[in-house]
């Protein structure tokens, strides 16, 4: 018996693969999030954004696009909870 994979499942796997394998420098992350570069470094140090670098020293700090996307999702969820009164602090 052969299993069928839906187009949506294929697209989800492709999207995740691309996000996990796209590396961004802190300047680009700051542009995406609308934060200062200093704030991005603080998010990396606190573990909110996942730092990765295959060649330390050559390219500097890199963050996966997946990590940025997951951070944005968490912020959206926190903002919704904040607006509904369930949470008292915003993201960022």
Write out pLDDT tens, residues 10-65: 998 998 888 888 999 999 999 999 999 999 999 999 999 998 876 666 668 899 99
- Give the whole-angstrom CA distance, residue 69 versus residue 86: 23
Per-residue pLDDT band for 78 (boundaries 50, 70, 90) equals: confident
pLDDT at 86 over 80: no
Rounded CA gap, 48 and 71, in Å?
Answer: 7
| Overall average pLDDT of the 67-90 stretch | 84
CA nearest neighbour of 50 among 12, 20, 28: 20
Given a cut of 70, whether residue 89 has pLDDT beyond it is no
What is the predicted pLDDT for the residue at 91? Answer: 72
Model pLDDT, residue 90:
61
């Amino acid at each position: 018996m052969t299993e069928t994979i839906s187009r949506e499942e294929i697209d989800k796997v492709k999207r995740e693969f691309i996000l996990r394998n796209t590396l961004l420098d802190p300047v680009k992350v700051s542009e995406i999030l609308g934060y200062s570069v200093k704030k991005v470094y603080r998010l990396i140090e606190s573990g909110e954004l996942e730092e990765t670098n295959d060649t330390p020293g050559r390219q500097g700090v890199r963050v996966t696009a997946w990590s940025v996307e997951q951070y944005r999702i968490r912020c959206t969820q926190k903002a919704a909870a904040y607006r509904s009164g369930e949470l008292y602090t915003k993201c960022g």
